[in-house]
């Protein structure tokens, strides 16, 4: 049987002061390793509990949700509708956007700055007051539609019809429980709508105030 480090010390130095000092060092090292192992196991246990908690809470949240946000723009509805229905490179999160027709339907294929590509179908168009974007890519952990309602709104300093309230209503489903947890408690279910409206504000050269 292999001797322990402490036994090696005793065999070499006996019970001298040097041996006692070395034994204390070895004991301290052993205790340090034991403490480190306990800490590592405790951290691993906490992480497991957190992951399980996120999954359980996410599983209890409803898959379906509806969320709505709006903002007033100093621009007419046709101008804003053209932004919504056209290429989306005016949004900072979009790297490439292709707009094309197929079988009498219109699609937007977006590639994000991170390389993810998602296709949307434009439907229910009622120019210049309404248009809907439906997620057409299958197999994603989410699905649903965004309905854009553009309502002429009186804005100080502008002629009638030159101001527009844009409302985005999201009717969506999130299938992955972790995504549901993140969407509900970390990102917020209106985060992407807020980002879209802010980007539209920059595209029209104005600061906007987002409302429910």
Q: Show the DSSP H helices in 3-156 as ranges.
A: 5-13, 17-60, 77-85
Nearest Cα to 165, choosing from 180, 184, 149?
149
Task: Report which DSSP code applies to 79.
Answer: H
Of 146 and 28, more confident: 146
Nearest Cα to 139, choosing from 119, 122, 112?
119
Handedness of CA 82, 133, 67, 190 (dihedral sign): negative
- The residue-averaged pLDDT of 108-135 equals 97
Asked whether the beta carbons of 63 and 180 are under 8 A apart, the reply is yes
- The residue-averaged pLDDT of 194-205 equals 97
Query: What are the tens digits of pLDDT across the range 173-192?
Result: 999 999 999 998 998 999 99
- The residue-averaged pLDDT of 202-208 equals 96
pLDDT of residue 150: 98
Residues 6+ apart with CB under 8 A from 184: 58, 61
Q: What are phi and psi of 202, to 5 degrees?
A: -65, -35
pLDDT at 9 over 50: no
Handedness of CA 138, 139, 140, 141 (dihedral sign): positive
Place of tokens 């009638």: 160
pLDDT of residue 1: 53
Distance CA 119, CA 181 (A): 24
Residues 6+ apart with CB under 8 A from 170: 65, 66, 67, 68, 144, 145, 146, 189, 190, 192, 193
Range of lowest pLDDT (21-35, 145-159, 187-201): 21-35
């Amino acid at each position: 049987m292999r001797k322990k480090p402490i036994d090696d010390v005793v065999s070499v130095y006996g019970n001298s002061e040097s041996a006692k000092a070395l034994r204390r060092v070895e004991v301290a090292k052993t205790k340090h390793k034991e403490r480190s192992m306990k800490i590592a196991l405790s951290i691993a246990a906490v992480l497991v509990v957190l992951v399980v908690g996120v999954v359980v809470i996410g599983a209890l949240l409803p898959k379906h949700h509806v969320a709505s946000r709006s903002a007033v723009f100093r621009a007419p509805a046709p101008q804003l509708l053209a932004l919504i229905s056209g290429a989306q490179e005016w949004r900072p999160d979009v790297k490439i956007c292709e707009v094309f027709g197929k079988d009498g339907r219109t699609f937007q294929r977006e590639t994000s700055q991170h390389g993810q590509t998602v296709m949307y179908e434009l439907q229910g168009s009622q120019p210049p007051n309404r248009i809907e974007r439906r997620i057409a890519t299958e197999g994603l952990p989410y699905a649903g539609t965004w309905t854009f309602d553009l309502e002429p709104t009186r804005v100080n300093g502008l002629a009638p019809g030159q101001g527009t309230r844009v409302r985005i209503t999201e009717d969506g489903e999130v299938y992955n429980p972790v995504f549901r947890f993140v969407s509900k408690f970390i990102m917020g279910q209106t985060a992407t709508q807020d980002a879209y409206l802010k980007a539209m504000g920059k595209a029209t050269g104005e600061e906007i105030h987002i409302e429910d």
